Chains A and B, each alone.
Chain A
Amino acid sequence: MQQQQQDDAQPVPAFVARLANARRISVMLKSILLTDKNAVATVFILPGGIKFVAEDAKSMQANAFLQAAIFLQYTCPAELPPFKIHLEKLLDCLNIFSSGTAPAPAPTALKLTYCGPGSVLNLLLEEGGVFADCDLRTLEPDDILDFAFNSFGVHNKLIVKSEGMKGAFAELDTSSEFLEVVMSPDEPYLRLSTTGQAGQVNVDFPFDSFVIETFECFRPQCNRYRMSLIAPSIKGLAISTKTSMRMNARGFLSLQFMISNEDSQVSFVEYLCAPEDANEDSERDEESELSGTDSAHLLDGQPSYAHHEVSAPMEQ
């Protein structure tokens, strides 16, 4: 379905994708929608799939990856330059036929079209014979953080069934400022704890628990993460079937959620979170260390991670 039929002036779109049920995308994007009202996401359209990346306070990154295989049609001859888009508006468009959280009676078909840098992202949605044609402005992308998670040794990782994790997160005190994650080869193996007004809450997982599928832990590690940054990951947890938790040598936490749908096709949502470190100097050292390794996606001249400020994402 070329756009040329409708408008002669339109160039050949660089990217076309069709999806049987828009709900898949909307559910995943909702889980990376952070609390910021002006939430933006950087979109990477690759031959293998689409990746949406959202960031918060330069300390946390959430990304959702939809593989090409889940689309009915996926035409992307070459990797396109990334662009930024208003995530909330995109979600509004995707949910244009649905009312709130009620499941749609009929699946909403979706067709995505993008002509290249500077053009709009076009969404064509159809439900029950009614069409909705949406054009979303694309913005110049900012450099996104590259946490370079794998560059540093990943000592500890585990894969756990999400139902176990859901109960654990529900138990935690969300009013607490920090979440402490302890992973160690001995007791307590995996422990999530919060310290709130009333006291401390610990959730312990033994390594041989039924819900834990794999547990590899070589070094005991204990790190604290801001609860406000971890909170969005609970949304991803809620829709997932499996969770992978990894911690690298610098204490960064990577939570990957596997979401599977009726067709037993899987998509992934990942959250990367920087640890809360009382020692700011060590962070600066790490920052300079980081700038030495990968130059493509870095924030040059950023003095510190600014864990303690909620800095607004860099606007254009």
Chain B
Amino acid sequence: MQCVVPSRSLKAFGRAVHCCAKIGEEIYLEAQANQLLVRTVSLSRAAFACFSFAPQFFDKYRTMPIAGLAVNEQSLLKCKVLAKSCQHIFRSLTNIEKTVDHCDISLDLDESRLVFRLFCKHGITKTHYLRFSECDTLQAIYGTEHCVNQIACPGAVLNDSVVLFPVNLEEMTISVTDTELRLASYTEDLVDPKKVLHTEMVIQKDEFELFAIGLPADITFCLKEFKAILTFCDTLNEAMQIHFDNAGKPIILSVATDMFKAELVLATLLDPMNSSTTSSQQVPSSASQQQHFHPQSTPQHQSTPTIKSSPKHEYSSQQSASSHGPTSTGQLFGSGRSNDSQRPSHHTSSHMQVDHATTWVAPQPTPQQSPQRNHVAASGLLSSAFGSHHGADRMSPNIMPTLGSSIPPPATSSSLPRIGMQPVAVGGGGGADLAGEARAAAAAGVLPLPWTTIVRMTSMMMMTSILMLLRHLER
């Protein structure tokens, strides 16, 4: 394979490489008979970019036959290289435009290297040898024909708007109606809206060359890749086409000229309304579980094996959503997880361990949610672990949930070893034995039953001693 990129095309090629480097870690090159494909996919597989360059983009474009391959595969060359090293070659594009006459890209099969040879002025030659690796064709499955919404605009319109958003903003929402397009910063439910800068921008449909909205929609996607393609578009002064549907369907941004085509496909977040209903569902589920405690015991026991394993994970990313867990453990351990209480579902005060167990069980089958919720999960598991074993015996709401040092102590001591002491250590820094638990519980600010009796006894003793003293004084 050999192609020569002339000076006039170097800017576009370099920009394409930069764009790919911002999106993914590796650049997949594929030389087909009628085009050169430069593709990349982000690590999370949420963004896919594909740049295809027509033969007229190059001064010379030749795909050499490779001995041993079938005739119809002869013109195919597939390899992937590190995006960073490719970007290093086209690092200073202004310099390249000024000094480089043309760039020769060829494949050195003997040494397994991809060779970029930049011929600069004054006869200086800069050669970059990049190691490549074999790969399969990278292709995302998408189509623009089915998209109900389509927008066309010069790259500058959106690029200038996006620049106004905070630099470290991760996700952005685009809401379209018949008359306008609204760009808004997207923050997850977890974060307190009052503590985050929220930016919104509205663009009227007149700014766009084409604004065909079939169905008003709100879509949320990653901003970093979006910015990358916008920069590409803007620096080359090309118009951009955007095709999208509704939330959950990918958004496709494309640029097309005679010489090259660029397409970026971004995955969009599922409708945010859906995710909030899942969490709110957990609240009623716990309430309902209270009444159905006994039937739940079976599933609890079924879940025991999983509970056992949970201590090993401790802060692992087991999901979800045991929204009530944190509240209870917050009370249990008295610290640390209090920040979880920001979540709205916490106020369903489940000081009943029963609830913890049941609510933990309920969310378990739900699909995994965002990893930010993992800290919630671990604590929920711990509390539920104890709850499942103490069960019906401890229905008294007056007793603050404990780590098992409450009635009946023998039962708890027998159950705890099965669970494992690590959770105790994890939560409140307690020891690995019953006494340690009591300490932990005490440290957490929870009074175990024996202590209250001791207090009572002590107070009674004091009272009797005072009475005796008084009698003595009377005499």
Instruction: Please list the residues of chain A having a beta carbon within 8 angstroms of any beta carbon in chain B.
Output: 164, 167-168, 170-171, 173, 196-206, 208-211
Contacts and interface: CB of A to CB of B under 8 A. Distances in A.
Q: Is the interface of B mostly helix, strand, loop or mixed?
A: strand
A198 B126 contact: no
Contacts of B130: 198-199
Given A167-B99, A170-B92, A170-B95, A199 B129 contact: yes
Contacts of A208: 123
Contacts of B120: 167
B127 A205 contact: no
Interface in B115-170: 120, 122-131
Contacts of A197: 82, 85
Nearest 6 A/B pairs, CB to CB: A198-B85, A209-B123, A199-B129, A202-B127, A204-B125, A200-B129
A199 B122 CA distance: 25
Nearest to A173: B88
A200 B124 contact: no
23 contacts: A167-B99, A168-B124, A170-B92, A170-B95, A196-B85, A197-B85, A198-B82, A198-B130, A199-B129, A199-B130, A199-B131, A200-B128, A200-B129, A202-B127, A202-B128, A203-B124, A203-B126, A204-B126, A205-B124, A206-B123, A206-B124, A209-B123, A210-B122
Given A167-B124, A209-B123, 11 more contacts: A164-B124, A168-B124, A170-B92, A170-B95, A198-B131, A200-B127, A201-B129, A202-B127, A205-B124, A206-B125, A209-B124
B84 interface: yes
B30 to A, nearest CB: 20
With a 10 A CB-CB cut-off, give which of A168, A198, A205 has the most chain B CB atoms.
Answer: A198
Contacts of B123: 205-206, 208-210
Contacts of A164: 122, 124
B394 interface: no
Interface string B81-110: 110110010001001000100000000000
Contacts of B128: 198-202
Contact of B127 (A167, A173, A201): A201
Contacts of B129: 199-202
A198 B124 CA distance: 22
Interface residues of B, number: 20
B113 interface: yes
Nearest to B81: A198
B37 to A, nearest CB: 21
Contact of B95 (A167, A200, A206, A210): A167
B92 A199 contact: no
With a 10 A CB-CB cut-off, give which of A197, A201, A205, A211 has the most chain B CB atoms.
Answer: A201
B27 to A, nearest CB: 12
A204 B126 CA distance: 6
B87 to A, nearest CB: 10
A203 B118 CA distance: 9
Contacts of A202: 125-129
A171 B81 CA distance: 19
Contacts of A203: 124-127
A181 to B, nearest CB: 15
B202 to A, nearest CB: 42
Contacts of B85: 196-199
A201 B116 CA distance: 9
Contacts of B131: 198-199
A98 to B, nearest CB: 28
A198 B88 contact: yes
Contacts of B92: 170
A217 B128 CA distance: 26
A306 B11 CA distance: 46
A222 B321 CA distance: 64
A219 to B, nearest CB: 23
Nearest to A208: B123
Contacts of A170: 92, 95
A178 to B, nearest CB: 16
A171 B126 contact: yes
B92 to A, nearest CB: 7
Nearest to B85: A198
Interface in B44-102: 81-82, 84-85, 88, 92, 95, 99
A209 B120 CA distance: 11
B124 A204 contact: yes
A196 B88 CA distance: 11
A55 to B, nearest CB: 32
A209 B125 CA distance: 11
A210 B99 CA distance: 13
With a 10 A CB-CB cut-off, give which of B84, B85, B95, B122 has the most chain A CB atoms.
Answer: B122
A206 B88 CA distance: 24
A231 to B, nearest CB: 17
